[in-house]
Structure 1
Amino acid sequence: MADQSFVTLATNDSYVKGALVLGSSLRNHRTSKRLTILITPHVSDPMRKVLEKIFDEVKLVNVLDSGDAAHLALLKRPELGVTLTKLHCWELTQYSKCVFMDADTMVLSNVDELFEREELSAAPDPGWPDCFNSGVFVYRPSIETFNQLLQLATEKGSFDGGDQGLLNTFFSNWATTDISKHLPFIYNLSSISIYSYLPAFKVFGTDAKVVHFLGRMKPWNYSYDSKTKSVKDTQDPTMAHPEFLNMWWNTFVTNVLPLLQQHGAIKDTATGVKALSGLVYSLAFSCGFCREEEVTEAVSHMSISSPAQSNPPPSPPPMSSEERKERWEQGQADYMGLDSFDNIKKKLDTYLQ
């Protein structure tokens, strides 16, 4: 239907990769709904061109950030402040009803039946069941609701510093008023291991329709072996279901990678980067030259770049490690300078000698 749409959000080029897999999975399972993505100015032009090949509408929005360092520190997830940008989804009033899905989700079957639900329908959060998880929810676009959410964010903020705390405060009757707005957990299946979760997964997991890659480590942070068609050396004790990771990467390689190559959104050295990624991890941690999260962020960005330039720009002024890490997380790595593939390779060669 033209007046109903799946909606997602990408705030940088890394999350674009997730959104492209999500969009491809929806297409592969023959959704009849439109696909819309909200993007921020941090998304590069080549990536925008690729998004236009999979999504019906690519809408540029400004960044909304809670700036709530205290609550985000409790979660150890400072990057979640920008998730308030998700609120722009209520501005899509050309649609009568939408289903929002985070860019780190992937559908395993057709889920168009979600549009039969009403606002605000969502699945319980695995860590706090009296709250819903905001990675997948059914809603009705409304400028009035958007303005009310902004007012609530300004006056009271979010109890977790991100969109989930704010939305649970706004839709505070979700837990008790209408059970029909509680989506079955199969529509937002956590990919990480939680106490008592595995036995339930054995019973209900085969019916899963949407998998959600929760946590800091995202599918695009891992190294993939195209020959075995499997993720290599995950070394992540919380990743309880690697088969979902393999499915994500199979979709990426089959549907997304050709588009990235076609539109110049990925370097020719991408294959070399992937081959070295496992080495990056082992050398980085054994030599202690950077923290784990910095390495995973680096691996997630190394293969993505703006088109090559004939005259490389001058080197930027020196920046602190924290400033450099922040630029990585915002999708603003210095691909042509300090963070170029050649420089990364030189760093590896130093440790190999």
Structure 2
Amino acid sequence: MKDQAFVTLATNDSYVKGALVLGSSLRHYNTTRQLVALITPQVSDSMKKVLFKIYDDVKEVDVLDSGDSAHLALMQRPELGITLTKLHCWTLTQYSKCVFMDADTMVLSNIDELFQREELSAAPDPGWPDCFNSGVFVYRPSIDTYKRLLQFATEKGSFDGGDQGLLNSFFSSWATTDINKHLPFVYNLSSVSTYSYLPAFKVFGANAKVVHFLGRIKPWHFSFDPKTKSVSGMHDPAVVQPEFLKLWWETFSTRILPLLTEHGVVKDTSSGLKAEEIAEAVSQLSIEAPTISSEERKERWEQGQIDYMGEDSFENIKRRLDSFLK
């Protein structure tokens, strides 16, 4: 299927790590489609070379930025403006149909059946289900659509300052016109679902085909111990269940790290990839997670986004209460 492709976008070296895990997971589950990575000039040459080890094509594109700080402030995500660069995916007209996947997604099974869907097919967003989440969607490349999207962005902007608001406004009939364009939620299992509707996750989570590490804190913000195969670091409601996070890191350490060492991105660990060496190499790639202010944490509590696995665990709350009572 040379005329169909999975497409992703990496705007810096950190997101390249995610793109590498995504591409590796697609390969692992034997996709028959092409893999394409769009990158911006901020991606280093060494990381670009590693991408070519997994992706069939790596294409550099210009950065598109909404500059819409007012709307982005509503989401407290100023970095999302650059996500409009995603619109370049419509310029890949050498392909008849594509599936776009954010670099912070990972597949858990073969999902080639998505190419049977039509533009614009996507899964509902857990925050507002009448909007689709733009982390995974089926589309048809078209220069005409690309130009119309740019014109729409210029004239009307995006209600959230990022690509999701823009695309939902542009493909405004998604919610009501054709139910066949509503992908099952298992094709884009967003992290907040594990907190806002935990019972459903316990029943249906095992059927997930794509996991989306939604939110500011990404898998590469954590640390991984290859000895114990455990992930440590800051826990946050914006991260999916620990087993998915662990799977991401196992994929990274076994399939991606050797490629990074081969190209000198990290220290050479080719001598058997001992646990201590992997841990040291991984530590070079871990990025400190953004800190959460007490005010933001309070807001998340009020929205039902409680960090049950970390700061807001029963043990931590009990410890604070005991300290206060003493």
TM-score (norm 2): 0.83
**Per-residue Cα deviation, 1:37-69 (whole angstroms, up to 9, x for no partner):** 000000000000000000000001000000000
Asked whether the equivalents of residues 193 and 238 of structure 1 are also in contact (C-alpha less than 8 Å), the reply is no
Asked whether the equivalents of residues 213 and 239 of structure 2 are also in contact (C-alpha less than 8 Å), the reply is no
Are the structure 2 counterparts of residues 32 and 137 from structure 1 closer, same or farther at C-alpha, using a change threshold of 3 Å? same
Q: How does 1:108-119 map to 2 (within 5 A)?
A: 108-119=108-119
Matching residue of 2:321? none
**Per-residue Cα deviation, 1:57-102 (whole angstroms, up to 9, x for no partner):** 0001000000000011111111000000000000000000000000
Matching residue of 1:2? 2
Q: How does 1:1-353 map to 2 (within 5 A)?
A: 1-193=1-193, 196-267=196-267, 271-272=279-280, 274=282, 292=291
In structure 1, distance between residues paired with 2:130 and 2:166 = 14
**Per-residue Cα deviation, 1:283-326 (whole angstroms, up to 9, x for no partner):** x9xxxxxx727xxxxxxxxxxxxxxxxxxxxxxxxxxxxxxxxx
Matching residue of 2:271? none
For 1:130, what is the secondary structure of its paired residue?
Answer: strand
In structure 1, distance between residues paired with 2:13 and 2:171 = 31
In structure 1, distance between residues paired with 2:285 and 2:173 = 46
In structure 2, distance between residues paired with 1:51 and 1:266 = 15
Residue range with higher mean Cα deviation, 269-278 or 245-254 = 269-278
For 2:70, what is the secondary structure of its paired residue?
Answer: helix
One-letter code aligned to 2:78: P
Asked whether the equivalents of residues 136 and 188 of structure 2 are also in contact (C-alpha less than 8 Å), the reply is yes
Asked whether the equivalents of residues 75 and 160 of structure 2 are also in contact (C-alpha less than 8 Å), the reply is yes
For 1:165, what is the secondary structure of its paired residue?
Answer: helix
Are the structure 2 counterparts of residues 272 and 114 from structure 1 closer, same or farther at C-alpha, using a change threshold of 3 Å? same
One-letter code aligned to 1:13: D
Q: How many residues align?
A: 285
One-letter code aligned to 1:11: T
Shift of 1:234: 3.9
One-letter code aligned to 2:144: E
Shift of 1:233: 3.9
Please provide the CA RMSD for this pair: 2.2
Shift of 1:241: 0.5
Unaligned runs of 5+ in 1: 285-290, 294-353
Unaligned runs of 5+ in 2: 269-276, 293-326
Are the structure 2 counterparts of residues 118 and 256 from structure 1 closer, same or farther at C-alpha, using a change threshold of 3 Å? same
Residue range with higher mean Cα deviation, 230-239 or 94-103 = 230-239
Matching residue of 1:303? none
One-letter code aligned to 2:213: F
One-letter code aligned to 1:73: A
For 2:6, what is the secondary structure of its paired residue?
Answer: strand
TM-score (norm 1): 0.77
Are the structure 2 counterparts of residues 228 and 51 from structure 1 closer, same or farther at C-alpha, using a change threshold of 3 Å? same
Identity over aligned residues, as a percent? 73
One-letter code aligned to 2:64: L
One-letter code aligned to 2:186: I
One-letter code aligned to 2:187: Y
In structure 2, distance between residues paired with 1:255 and 1:219 = 15
In structure 2, distance between residues paired with 1:152 and 1:237 = 34
After TM superposition, the runs of 4+ consecutive aligned structure 1 residues lying more than 6 A away are: none
In structure 2, distance between residues paired with 1:54 and 1:195 = 33
For 2:129, what is the secondary structure of its paired residue?
Answer: coil
In structure 2, distance between residues paired with 1:141 and 1:275 = 39
In structure 2, distance between residues paired with 1:33 and 1:187 = 17
Asked whether the equivalents of residues 8 and 37 of structure 2 are also in contact (C-alpha less than 8 Å), the reply is yes
